[in-house]
Chain A
């Protein structure tokens, strides 16, 4: 799972989406891998306004990354190739291969295996 995806994921358990504690999900025991991908500045520019920066800071911290920018880049900063490249690396090339995502509201754990998160729920949680 790419880090960008984790920035948009919510808990699937009934009623959880409405609770602020359910976002972002929290990584546990995460194993990371870098998978190189062609640099796509246009895509980064498109997506950055939608990124929840606070959630990204929390996740980066949980995954043991050095501190990321305090503030979401905007305006001219999105023309800066260096900044775009760093975002590309962080959002699109950083993969979580194994581990868990847990919900801060209901405690549900979503397992990640070979990069695929299991979001199937038993029917009483839907």
Chain B
């Protein structure tokens, strides 16, 4: 089965129809929200922050940033960039709180140096590996994106990008481009080796040291490590986790239930969205 990234450029793939299907599918909503909560844990924001949402789509990831309760350091204010007008249109209809931009992250990140406390990206940056025209290469697009992102984060800031590389070459191309741009980088893998495996590229900007959290596994992330995330261990760690009974907790529980019933049905590495038939 082909990946959507190999079929069409993102703004054409996410047309009105696909964007609507994507946003209303409860399966997709659950997966995206689970991954967003995980990325938030890794960002470990302790006070209301200004966050860039890269490839924000219809706002499934962003709305979770707006909903973080004060006990957990929120709510956060976010700015979203996306290349698909249809996705952004749905975000508008859903009345999300973040500010939205129609922009191609492969063209850079048009913000002043040190603008953001943090950045988050859920299921988007693998699209940079597919260059649409002959005058832009994936390497050039990745370079502009990571250099722009690096500059736009404040020192000590972090970015967490969950992504779906097609293969190891893509995974290395992406993490390599991040390191070249100056980031301290690590890759964290949840449920490694399973169909639900999820990769998180964790990036730090000078001094955003990760020691002390992620239960100390991520020491000296100045190179790319592959880390086995043991969720159980994490749950007893220092991280701010949803508290029993609050909204985030209930959402997480729901997702866990979902997951139990879903494992068998998911038969591809690319579990984040529905596919349209390739023609």
Contacts and interface: CB of A to CB of B under 8 A. Distances in A.
Name the residue among B88, B100, B102 with the largest chain A CB count within 10 angstroms. Answer: B102
B229 interface: no
Interface stretch (B35-43, B45-53, B213-221, B265-273): B45-53
A5 interface: yes
Interface of A: 1-2, 4-5, 8-12, 17, 23, 37-38, 40, 42-43, 46-47, 50, 52, 92, 114-121, 123, 126
Contacts of A126: 107-108, 136, 144
A110 to B, nearest CB: 9
B79 A5 contact: yes
A126 B99 CA distance: 23
Interface of B: 47-50, 70, 75, 77, 79, 81, 83, 88, 92, 97, 99-104, 107-108, 110-112, 114-115, 117, 133, 135-136, 144, 154
A8 B79 CA distance: 11
B112 A23 contact: yes
Given A37-B97, A123-B136, A126-B144, A116 B110 contact: no
Given A116-B88, A126-B144, A46 B50 contact: yes
Given A46-B49, A46-B117, A119 B101 contact: yes
Contact of A8 (B75, B97, B102, B112): B112
Contacts of B117: 46
Contacts, number: 80
Given A9-B110, A11-B110, A46-B50, A119 B79 contact: no
Nearest to B48: A43
A90 B88 CA distance: 24
Contact of A118 (B47, B49, B99, B102): B102
Contact of B112 (A10, A12, A42, A43): A10
9 contacts: A9-B110, A11-B110, A37-B97, A40-B48, A40-B75, A42-B70, A46-B49, A120-B107, A121-B104
